[in-house]
């Protein structure tokens, strides 16, 4: 857990030279993982050094500019944000009149989606009690964070055998207080795509807000589909999808600190907007949780999207799909371990058949230096693939095969640290 910090009270008396600080920074990060280390199968959206360079250069050009004052001082920023949103709306087949906002990350997009849905419900279809949101068990924890902040309640329902939200369970969970349902495209823990079409039918029948969380898959699935992969409809092509979240700083490959909240109908954005006038500085209007917003994040997203273009994204997705197929073949050849469900994007979950301690295998692979997301329920391994992982996937599978033998022999132990996702 991240503890509150504040015990180290040492304000520098005088400044130091950049040369000295730079050296200090390099020394400080010697214990850190390099984010694009090839053994990082946890959170490395590595699209190549050239892409990282474009992201960084564009960010640094605008690093002092603030999107909060975009319309007043830095009109290039809202213009770039408009283009970024427009590209995403086209990608997700949004109808005329749809709109979007650049946010700081998936969690902010999700909190804003929940706030917008809550205020829409209060105005358009009030419920008698505390508003409820129904999500599948694998849905991201950010929805619980949002609900906690916004006075709502999340109902997590069972997934089916394929780790997808079960529409029957969702339907059974709908009450007079339900305002919103959520589908993940895909969900982070196991990488499976919820049945968005079936959820859309429920949303229509009960007049509910349907949010599609495409934070991790938004800049993957459309390209996979264009490459001929079978990707069920998950976006605004389904008429009852009300909003979507899609992260630019994941498979969009831009600098950290950029995501999108998209709304089917601009008319709904009045429930997203915050506006306040009764203070000395005049009208204050924002569409985001943040006030000041980094101009660099928008410039970086704009530059990377235009640098890669549809073709560049497709090339990276094609490579990842190939790595996923190679991994699947190698896992297939192992006895006792399998891929969970049917992954649709770059996330793959691995589980065991129950004949050995999968949690001990997971912890031992982590102790051997492989970085991946832990799965707790079912115990397993969450891999997040990038297009450079072709270089290590054979080594990973070989290490997994050897560790599996040890697990079957019962010689492995679980870590005493609890498996966790964040800090
Ligand atoms: C499906 C999904 N939703 C939401 C999030 C939260 O995004 P962030 O960490 O950018 O706040 C993630 C992060 O991995 C995710 O995979």
What is the Å distance from ligand 1's center to 215 Cα? 6
State pTM to two decimals.
0.97
pLDDT digits (tens, 9 = 90+) for 50-95: 999 999 999 999 999 999 999 999 999 999 999 999 999 999 999 9
pLDDT digits (tens, 9 = 90+) for 103-127: 999 999 999 999 999 999 999 999 9
Residue closest via CA to ligand 1's atom 5 equals 106
Residue closest via CA to ligand 1's atom 4 equals 106
Atom nearest to 247 CA in ligand 1: 10
pLDDT digits (tens, 9 = 90+) for 335-371: 999 999 999 999 999 999 999 999 999 999 999 999 9
Determine the Cα–Cα distance for residues 350 and 341; give it in Å rounded to an integer: 9
Res 45 pLDDT > 70? yes
CATH number for 57-306 (one of 3.50.50.60, 3.10.520.10, 3.40.640.10, 3.20.20.10): it is 3.40.640.10
Residue closest via CA to ligand 1's atom 9 equals 106
CATH number for 309-409 (one of 3.40.640.10, 3.90.1150.10, 3.40.50.1820, 3.40.50.2000): it is 3.90.1150.10
The percentage of residues in the chain with a pLDDT greater than 90, rounded to a whole number, is: 95
Which of the four pLDDT bands, split at 50, 70 and 90, describes residue 144? very high
What is the Å distance from ligand 1's center to 402 Cα? 32
Q: 14-48: buried (b, 16+ CB within 10 Å) or exposed (e) per residue?
A: eeeeeeeeeeeeeeeeeeeeeeeebbbbbebbbbb
Res 33 pLDDT > 60? yes
- pLDDT in the model for residue 4: 82
- pLDDT in the model for residue 154: 98
Torsion of CA 201, 205, 211, 214, to 10 degrees: 0
Torsion of CA 257, 263, 268, 271, to 10 degrees: -20
Residue closest via CA to ligand 1's atom 7 equals 106
- pLDDT in the model for residue 1: 57
> What is the Cβ-side half-sphere exposure of residue 393, based on CA atoms within 13 angstroms?
22
Beta bridge partners, 294, equal 66
Annotated domain spans of the chain: 57-306, 309-409
User: In the predicted model, what is the mean pLDDT of residues 274-293?
Assistant: 97
Rg (CA), the chain: 22
Res 296 pLDDT > 80? yes
């Amino acid at each position: 857990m991240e503890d509150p910090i504040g015990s180290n009270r040492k304000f520098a008396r005088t400044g130091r030279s950049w040369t000295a600080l730079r050296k200090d920074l390099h020394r400080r990060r010697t214990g850190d993982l390099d984010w694009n280390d090839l053994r990082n199968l946890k959170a490395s959206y590595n699209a190549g050094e050239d892409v990282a360079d474009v992201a960084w250069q564009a960010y640094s050009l605008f690093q002092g500019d603030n999107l909060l004052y975009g319309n007043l001082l830095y009109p290039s920023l809202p213009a770039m944000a408009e283009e970024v949103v427009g590209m995403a709306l086209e990608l997700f087949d949004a109808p005329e009149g749809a709109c979007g906002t650049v946010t700081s990350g998936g969690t902010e997009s999700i909190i804003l989606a929940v706030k917008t849905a809550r205020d829409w419900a209060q105005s358009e279809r009030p419920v008698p009690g505390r508003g409820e949101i129904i999500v599948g068990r694998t849905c991201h924890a950010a929805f619980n964070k949002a609900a906690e902040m916004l006075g709502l309640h999340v109902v997590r329902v069972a997934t089916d055998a394929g780790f997808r939200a079960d529409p029957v369970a969702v339907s059974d969970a709908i009450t007079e207080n339900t305002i919103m349902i959520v589908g993940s495209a895909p969900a982070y823990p196991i990488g499976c795509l919820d049945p968005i079409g079936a959820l859309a039918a429920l949303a229509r029948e009960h007049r509910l807000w349907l949010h599609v969380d495409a934070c991790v898959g938004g800049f993957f699935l459309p390209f996979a589909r264009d490459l001929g992969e079978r990707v069920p409809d998950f976006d605004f092509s389904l008429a009852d999808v009300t909003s979507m979240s899609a992260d630019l700083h994941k498979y969009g490959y831009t600098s950290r600190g950029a995501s999108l909240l998209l709304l089917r109908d601009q008319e709904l954005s009045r429930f997203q907007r915050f506006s306040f006038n009764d203070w000395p500085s005049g009208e204050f209007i924002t569409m985001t949780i943040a006030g000041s917003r980094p101009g660099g994040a928008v410039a970086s997203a704009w530059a990377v999207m235009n640098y890669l273009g549809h073709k560049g994204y497709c090339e990276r997705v094609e490579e990842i799909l190939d790595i996923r197929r190679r991994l699947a073949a190698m896992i297939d050849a192992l006895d006792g371990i399998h891929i969970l469900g049917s992954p649709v994007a770059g996330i793959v979950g691995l589980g065991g058949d129950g004949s050995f301690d999968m949690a001990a295998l997971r912890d031992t692979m982590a102790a051997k230096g492989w970085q991946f997301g832990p799965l707790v329920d079912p115990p397993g391994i969450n891999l997040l693939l990038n297009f450079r992982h072709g270089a290590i996937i054979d080594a990973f599978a070989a290490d997994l095969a050897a560790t599996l033998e040890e697990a079957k022999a019962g010689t492995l132990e679980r870590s005493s640290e609890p498996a966790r996702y964040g800090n």
